[in-house]
Chains A and B, each alone.
Chain A
Amino acid sequence: MANSSSAEPTRRDFLYVATGAVAGVGAVLTAWPFIAQMNPTPSALALGSIEADLSSVQLGQQVVLTWRSHPLFVRRRTPKEIADARAVPVASLIDPIARNANLPDDAPATDENREIKPEWLVVVGVCTHLGCTPTFNEGDYGGWLCHCHGSQYDVAGRVRRGPAPQNLAVPPYTYLTPTRIKIG
């Protein structure tokens, strides 16, 4: 080689690139199992579904169930709570999206879109800020207060004061009988 900066790629250049490429792909393929092993196992991923009987829940009460290892709030709302929640204009909400797994992704966060039957609110009891469990019937909006960082939710589980960015998630659920629901 008289000139190392010759324009033509040489056979050696090709060998360098090819060797590097094989080694690079090999390194990625070797690393992947060591990274992927940390993802949830299939048994953890298998979506658990639970059934719950609501007949014993009194007006104004909530029961806490466990679903996918998280608390699940089932709240029986009073007529006044329902009326209050429906009077809130969607435009005034922090998160205007319903976050209801039973509805399209862009459904607005009206109270009607947050439950199947007005009396029963079913939400995942995980604060959308950093995952604490909010406390029932506390805060300025009659719903829940998260003690960790002060987020507040109304009786439709919609976030009304930050730092939480989203409404409490409504899980997929159906009514099996008028007083029995299946979640998941």
Chain B
Amino acid sequence: MPNAVSRRLTTSLVCVMLAFVTLSAVHAQDLKSFEQRTTVKILSNGLTLIICERHEAPVFSYTTLVDAGDVDDPSGESGLAHMFEHLAFKGTSEIGTTDYAEEKVALAKVEAANDAYEGEFLKPGGGDPQKLAELQKVFLAAQTDAEKYVIPNQFTEVAEENGAEGLNAETALDDTEYYWSMPENRLELWAWMESSRLADTVPREFYKERDVVMEERRMSVDSDPMGRLFEQFLATAFVAHNYGRSNIGWPSEVSQITATEAMAFHKKYYVGGNIVVAIVGDVDAKTDLPMLEKYFSRVPGGPKPEDMTTVEPSQFAEKSVVIREQTQPFYIEGYHRPNILNPDDAVYDAISDIMSNGRVSRLYRSLVEQQQIAAEAASFSPYPGEKHPSLFAFYAYPLPGHTPAEIRDAIHKEIEKLKTVDVTDEELEMYKTCARADLLRGLADNQGLANSLAAYQARYGDWRQMFLELDRVDKVTKADIRRVANQIFVASNRTSAEIDTESRAAETKKARGAQ
């Protein structure tokens, strides 16, 4: 390193100490102030409500976290949790229908017609074409009949008309989150809407929505080079665990999911004990809690369903994926690591921060600035989920003229350094300072805060872990980093994936030459 570095480090060390003192004080104060304005109530059906008062403006944000995601999709039904999430926007027996009693009968006919069609379609050989055509006619007629009772998108329209902002949902492998923000005088309206859709989902317009999800798959996976690569990367890294399964669903599976299956998923997983609802903003826990309790008690009770029990076996063979196509080159590699409840979780965060946080990070300085072989280089962890044992990944985009092989070697050199030489005091302090500042910065955003509170409550059983996490951060040592790096960054624990543009070009040339 040039000597300028040591000079500037003396200056920055003083500042680090200063920042440390201030931030620690703020951390303690903040947890205390947060405890004063945060109320947790577990309802009799098991549902957890968290209310965090923040009276800066007359608005609130919420996150509903259902602790079930695509990792919980039954075998052969990948994409089910996500498919259900789409259904949760279709309304209830009260909203989105002109006559639910009639609609219910019509929907049962749709389901029967779909079963008959798919029964034929799934026969070996793909079924009899003539029969299929007839069955499809019956199915389409049943669908048209059921649509007579539908007021399309009424649920979301009522929300948007009442000022819902950022209305959306996300289904991850681990869990499903629903969220939006609203003016505070719509709190009761929201409580009615949210509790209704959790408790009283109707499998309305299911089969058209399945087509929409197939389009979503084309957009995010099939027509996107990175989407394709990541799907293959995970499918290769995991042999037993559902983290290796496409979370939007394999085409043949997601295209065959039925409304009956989606409703069975709902019945099993959308129970009080599996749901956390966090509300942040201009609300008053004392006066609003009875109202919230009234509405959210409508969610069916029930204990938390058991988690997926498959454990990914230890990897003993290095694996790699090579995609040859016209896309520009890319390289990624991942190593199995434990889930976030592991005592070393903060050590993984420290490694990721030191390797890739900003222009001072090791990967940026080495691959981007000094060697000039990559446009971007970083690590991230845990991926693709955090509830179960997951991956620690490194990736880089090579500069024109440089190959994935060069990238791999350069990343391995940096990993080797982590294993053999202690990180510096300054690097470790930077990580700790940033961790504290990031926590603080996040406190001024209602929606971000609602997400964090719900997530920490679901993962650790206590939202306070959001602050207590800093104690784990403080305890990380240089020796921890070396120990963990030596444990997991080994070849037999590695899966890599790359896009190989050059070979593709060569193959095309060869093919042309042969013609």
A, B co-complexed? no
